[in-house]
Amino acid sequence: MTAVELLSRLVGFATVSRDSNLALIEFIEGYLDEFDIPHQRIESDDGRKANLLARIGPAVEGGVVLSGHTDVVPVDGQPWSTDPFELVEKDDGKLYGRGTCDMKGFIACALAEVPRWVTRPLTRPIYLAFSYDEEIGCVGAPRMIERLMADHPRPAAVIVGEPTLMAPVTAQKGATNLRTVVTGREAHSSQVNQGVSAIHVAARLVARIEDVMQELQAEGRIDEAFNVVHSSLHVGKIAGGTAINIMARECSFEWEIRHLPQDRFDDLLGRVNDYARSLEKAMQERAPEAGITTHCLNTTVPALADRDNAAALSLCHDLLGERPTEAVAYATEAGQFQREGLATVICGPGSIAQAHQPDEYITYEQLDAGAAFMARLGESLC
């Protein structure tokens, strides 16, 4: 099948992160079986989802890992003009459907080249590493990477195929999602001296979160390679209170820290927590039962630093020609591979501007560029 035909099949699997991806994994397994390619599943704890790891070529060191995630974000509430889980080709040179650029296009390009890879005299292997639950915190990849490192000879390079318009990306921010719960004491709003408003305290803490971000800029902790040059802290959801005339007993909010590679998540969280402890002390002087708790909603997705990536970057330059490198603010699985000492860059077809959008698309031009990359990769490993 061509890359377009494979993309059509992949888009047809509604692998939203909240749902299972096993039907898609079974399809890819069946496809690989046609070419006698060894592969293994690495399942989630509940067995509803799975990573897929496959090797094409000899079991020797120096191979190349092609990493892609199989899950997509929801389409709920988005004004799609087409069926999001059916690939729609239009006359504008675009292919529409959820996941077309993020990132089933990359996976389709890799799978389309499999029939030619298996006929080539590869001297180093190509690994297909397809994960689950990337969109909700890069949850699935760590156990897949662990299996890769334990069961296979050490690869030389990793290409994470997120949509970059086929430009090599050598740095990304780390990302952590958090939830903070403020517990106060209810009282009638006419008797403010008797209660502690969780909403008022939460508001002070939300303001402090933004202040920390401003402090980082004032301290010169910036990296001009990124379009947002500092670590960012952002509150995305907040809820609390039961009535306008009741001092709120509880207020909760969800927020995130996206840290530069040179910043440490623990340090940034510590600045917020220090202020939270001072607020909590004042609350408990009036209401001993009051408190503030914060917990992480995901394991921190590590940043990708622009270092120790010569093998992967050189490979991209050999296959694509010399191109300027970039840095991105969004999180990927690249930092998880780098954490294991693997030379890693991000490079794939499509534009991140289309990711997560209604009427998500990839252009034929970008899909062709991804396919050409895969063909040249096979030639380079012979």
Of 103, 168, 98, nearest in space to 131 by CA? 103
Q: Which of 71, 162, 263, 333 is catalytic?
A: 71
Known catalytic residue at 289: no
Nearest residue to 254 (alpha-carbon basis) of 303, 209, 200: 209
Cα 172 from Cα 302, distance rounded (Å)? 9
Asked whether the beta carbons of 70 and 15 are under 8 A apart, the reply is yes
- As a whole number of angstroms, the distance between CA 377 and CA 19 comes to 33
End-to-end CA distance of the chain: 23
Q: How far is CA 23 from CA 9, 29, 54, 177, 327, in A?
A: 11, 10, 17, 29, 34
The structure tokens listed for 318 are 């050999």
Is 33 an annotated catalytic residue? no
Instruction: Exactly one of 102, 113, 133, 134 is catalytic; name it.
Output: 134
Q: Which residues contact 362 (CB under 8 A, 6 or more apart)?
A: 7, 94, 95, 100, 101, 105, 163, 349, 350, 354
Catalytic residue set: 71, 134
